[in-house]
Structure 1
Amino acid sequence: MKVRFDVLISSFFGESAQNLRSIFSAAREKPCVLLLDECDFIARSRTASKDIGEVSRIVNSLLQLMEEYDAPGLLVATTNLESALDPALFRRFDDVFSIPLPGPEEIEKLLRMTLSTVRFEKPMHWDQLASKLNGSSAAMVVKAAQDAAKAAVLAGGQTLVHGMLAQTIEELQRHDAAHRG
Structure 2
Amino acid sequence: MRPSDVPIPSSPTAPFPLTTPFCDVVAGFGRGSAQLGIPTANVPAEQLPEDFDSLALGVYFGFARLQPTSNDEDDDHHHHPHQARPDGSHVHFNNGSRLATEDLQTLPVVLSVGMNPFYHNQTKTVELHLVHTFAHDFYGAQVKFRVLGYIRPELDYTSRDALIADIRTDIALAQRALALPGYAQQSDF
TM class, shorter-chain normalised?
Answer: under 0.3
The structure whose Rg is larger is 1
Bigger relative contact order (CA 8 A; separation at least 6):
2
| Structure-2-length-normalised TM-score | 0.20
